[in-house]
Structures are given as C-alpha cells and as structure tokens.
Structure 1
Amino acid sequence: MEEQFIETRGFRLWTAKQGKGIPVLFISGGPGCADYLEPVASLIDDICEVIRFDPRGCGRSEFDGIGYGVKECIEDIERIREYYKIEKWVVMGHSWGADLALAYAILQPNSLLGFVAISGTGIQNDRDWKRAYQEGLKGQGETCPDSVYFYNKEVHRSLMNSWRDFIKGPNILKEISKIEIPTLFIYGQNDIRPSWPILQIASIIEGAQTIEIAEAEHYIWMQNESILREVLRKYVNKSF
C-alpha cells in the first residue's frame, strides 16, 4: 500500500493506494468519519487500483476547524483524481459516502467510469425514515467498525446541512435520471435504515442494478463479506 498526502486548497489530505487494475475511489460515510473501507478495498484490489482517503478534518487529513460543504468535497475528490493522473475512475461510496458519490456522478460525469452505492441513504430528509432508523437503533442496534464512533462533529454538521440544501435543487431528479454509467446499488437485508430511498433512485437511472445482501446490516462486510466480494467483483468484471 502506498500512502500520500495531497495538497488541496491549503489542506493536506491523507490518501492510500493499493492493488492494480481498474481505478476505483472509495468514499467513507458519516459524514465526518475517517476512512474505514480498507476491508472492502481488499476484496477487489487484485483486479482494481483502489484509492482511499480521509476527508478534510477526519483522521490524518488537515482541518482549520471551519465547516465546509458538498462543493468542497467534490473539489477534493477531483484533486485526488488529478494527483494520481487518472482520467476516469469508478467511485464506490458507503452510507453518506454513497450519497456524496451520487452528487459526484451528477456534477462530474466526465470523470466517471462507474458508480456503486453501498448502503446509501438517498436524497431524502423524511421523518418516517428517521423514525424507522431510530427505532431500529434502539431495538436491534447495529454492528459498526470501532473507528466510526470517532467522527468530526463540525464536519458532520456542516456537510449534513450542505447535503440537505443540495437535494432541494429543483432539477435533482432530472439530473439523476441522466446518469449513463454502469450503476449498482447494494444494501443489506437487515439494515435498520429503510431501503426505499435507494430503490427510488435506482428506478430512474437506466440500467441501474439493485442487490439486497441477505443477513447483512449497514456495514455489509461485517456480516456477509463473501457475498459482497462476489457482487463487487462481478460488477467490475462485467462492466469494464
């Protein structure tokens, strides 16, 4: 694995590259979490060149204590792509990282080969969805990587506010429907977050696939790593 710090608008972002093959960027969720997707990267790094990173203010990346928005996230992702001299890549995001990857697919279509959303939450700010999530959290709970509990609260607040503004755009559904790259939505059967927002988005992207992984929660690889591995590898081998 190769680690590099990349300058972006006065900040240094930690990045890591592993494997060889089709270039893939992984985006962790939160928002406000450092990278936690190395276990997923290892599932495909014999057929993909996988790049991971810590967002501004998270983990090993620098931060000035001031929040930022979706626009700055997209700029940072583009800076990483340019640094590694990648013309186009597949972007795979988990949880809120999947939502950010969706925004990237809308705003930077010429940078993409493909888009994979793992356990995304969709373009909604719905009370019923939140109630179902909170009841599930109190009832069955969920298994998480330890690092997820240590997140940057300022980054989290500012990005959630920015995301909610972004999804209010009057043309957001039209823009999503124009995505024309191989697209895959993966979600866990036992995720306490309702899947209907993801299924709605998938239905308006031509050719998009949806796959439910049995007996898996939000962090799918912690319950059903073998099936997730199979699904991701099939997507890469079939699409590129």
Structure 2
Amino acid sequence: MPALEPSEAGGYRTRVTSVAQEPPGEAVAVPGGSLWTLSRGSGPPMVLAHGGPGLSNNLEPVAGMVDDVARVHLYDQRGCGRSRASGPFDIATLVADLEALRTHWRHERWVVGGHSWGAALALFYALAHPDRTLGVIYLAGTAIRWGWKDGVQRERLSRLTAAERQELTALGARLESNGDERDRARFLRLMWSTDFASRAAATVLDSEPLYGYPRAEAVARAVQSDWKARLDAGIDDDLRRLTVPVLVVHGRRDPDPTGAREVADLAPRGRWVPLDNAGHSPWLERPAEMRQVLRAFLGSLS
C-alpha cells in the first residue's frame, strides 16, 4: 500500500448540508484568490485551521464550544473546499493567508488554532508572527518529526479486521496504478476509522461523509512536500524561543498518542493535555472535556 504520511490522518469529516442550508460565509480576497470564511460569536478573536492538507473546514462543533466567549473564525484553506486560489501551495503562503485574514478583520492579536495538519499551520503562523499571536491551540497535531513513529502503522492496522486489512492492501495497490475516486474514498474511510478510540465511535463515519468537499490532491501533495522540508530542517530552536501560551490537546487513543508531546515540552509556555478515551478528533468523542479545556485556556489569556 502507499505510505501514508501524518497529514493523511487529519481532518476527516465535515457535516455536509445542502447549498440552501449552508451558513452564510464571507469571501475574503487574498493574493491570487479568495478564501471562504465563516465568523461567529463575540469576544477575543481566534481562528481555527482545518486538517488535511487539501481538505475543508470541519470545525464548526469546536467553534460552538467557545463562541459565547470568543469571536471564532473558520475558513477553507486556499485551493480547498469553497476557497479559490492559485499557488503557490506552501507553508509561507498559507501563513500569509492567515495574516491577510487577521488584517482584514482588523484584529491586533488573535488566538490561532487548528486540528491535525491545521495545528501545524497554526504553530507555523505563531512562529512567524509571535507579536500577532495571543496563544496557540494545537489540537491532535502531528509530531514535529516527519513520518510516523515505529508502531503507529502497526497500531492502525490492529484496529481493522483481517478482511479490512486485506481490502486496504488491495486498494493501496490499485491507487498506486490507476485507482479511481471510489477506491480513494474507501481507502481513506478505512484508515480514518482507525483514528477513533473504538470501533463503536467510528460508526459516525457511516452516517456522515468523511468531509464536505473532495480532497484537493494537488494542494495536498504540494503542502506535504514543503511541510516535510520544514520539519526536516528542524523547528526545535524556533519552538524554544516561542513565548506565547501553547495548548496541546491530544487523545490518549490517537494512533500516535504522544507525537505532539514535544511541542508542549519545547515551548516555554507549552501545556500538554491528554484526553482519555479519545482519538484523533477528541471533540467528537469527549466533547464535555474538550469544551472545558478550551474555555479554561481562553480564560487564562484574558
């Protein structure tokens, strides 16, 4: 099967509604394109970046946990979902997009957060613009070393049945040659089911789609390449110099349960918060705990 990098485990579902039911958004111009955004709530500003790369916003439930105490901005990254933009598709440009959004909304400083790949993007923004960052929410982020740790792939496969493992191998082989979109969707459905703390929790994927819009494969490949280069170059020293608060929230049953721990350990004001009985999207499995942790963090910034 094709090797899966950490990014392919991120940001796996958005509640899909009809066009008539979609909440009204705002298109914000950025160099080379326009980003779909959705803003809600009132209070200190924060932005949430979805996972992927190449996927689309799925963080409305997270916003709903804090939008009575914060002004929360959601968006689709360039070239993804409802956003339209040409390249380049790299970290510097995606960070610049976030800065363009901050300027557009006239926030002097804001909290930057994200899930999985989006957590990495939020961190890269804070490293580039610490003076514009009130705090960082690193939600189920991947490690700051590229590639999975020993045992992560084994743990994922152990959460599948023997028949599913066989199917996954066959799908991977087809995708390396000429697999179609249905093969890709089924491959990702199987892999994403292993992100949950239990198979019972993973059944949510049977009633809701994996994500609201097709994955932008070219965007994903380009961002992954730059992401790997950035991590291979090392960000340890940059993290040691980051003085803003960094909240690292991670499920103990995430397939990589401790990879993100290093972010909290290196950042001078980092805090590691593992959640029991939660996987890669803890807001789905432990919403009460998630809400409490987020609100406490935001309260500590005021």
Shared fold (TM-score, shorter chain, > 0.5): yes
Distance 1:74 1:11, change over 3 A: same
Q: Deviations over 1:186-239 (max 9, x none)?
A: 0001111241x3222211211311101110010111110010000000111122
1:159 aligns to 2:159 (yes or no): no
The CA distance in 2 between the partners of 1:218 and 1:193, in whole Å, is: 9
Name 1:208's counterpart in structure 2. Answer: 270
1:238 aligns to 2:300 (yes or no): yes
Higher Cα radius of gyration: 2
**How is 1:30-179 mapped onto 2 (pairs within 5 angstroms)?**
30-64=52-86, 68-126=89-147, 129=149, 131-140=150-159, 141-142=194-195, 143=202, 146-147=210-211, 150-169=214-233, 172-179=235-242
Q: 2:146·2:231 contact (CA, 8 Å) conserved in 1?
A: no
Structure 1 spans left out of the alignment, 5+ residues: none
The CA distance in 1 between the partners of 2:29 and 2:38, in whole Å, is: 14
Q: 2:40·2:67 contact (CA, 8 Å) conserved in 1?
A: yes
1:15 aligns to 2:34 (yes or no): no
Q: Which SS does the other structure have where 1:72 is aligned?
A: helix
Q: 1:67·1:159 contact (CA, 8 Å) conserved in 2?
A: no
Q: Which SS does the other structure have where 2:25 is aligned?
A: strand
Q: Between the two proteins, what is the percent identity of the paired residues? A: 30
Q: Which SS does the other structure have where 2:232 is aligned?
A: coil
Q: Deviations over 1:129-188 (max 9, x none)?
A: 1x5332233222233662178311111111010011112335x21111011112110000
Q: Which SS does the other structure have where 1:167 is aligned?
A: helix
Q: 2:246·2:271 contact (CA, 8 Å) conserved in 1?
A: yes
Distance 1:149 1:62, change over 3 A: closer
Q: 1:215·1:224 contact (CA, 8 Å) conserved in 2?
A: yes
Q: Deviations over 1:107-128 (max 9, x none)?
A: 111110011100000211245x
Regions of 4+ moved over 4 Å: none
Q: Which SS does the other structure have where 1:146 is aligned?
A: coil
Name 1:187's counterpart in structure 2. Answer: 250
Question: Given the alignment, which residue of 25, 43, 50 partners 2:47?
Answer: 25
Alpha-carbon distance, 1:106 to partner:
0.9
Name 2:285's counterpart in structure 1. Answer: 223
The CA distance in 2 between the partners of 1:46 and 1:98, in whole Å, is: 22
Q: Which SS does the other structure have where 2:233 is aligned?
A: coil
Q: Which SS does the other structure have where 2:224 is aligned?
A: helix
- TM-score between both structures, scaled by the size of structure 1: 0.92
Alpha-carbon distance, 1:67 to partner:
5.5
Q: Which SS does the other structure have where 2:263 is aligned?
A: helix
The CA distance in 1 between the partners of 2:257 and 2:267, in whole Å, is: 20
Higher strand share: 1
Structure 2 spans left out of the alignment, 5+ residues: 1-22, 160-193, 196-201
Q: Which moved more, 1:1-10 or 1:75-84?
A: 1-10
The CA distance in 2 between the partners of 1:164 and 1:82, in whole Å, is: 28
Q: Which SS does the other structure have where 2:211 is aligned?
A: helix
The one-letter code of the counterpart of 2:260 is: I
- TM-score between both structures, scaled by the size of structure 2: 0.74
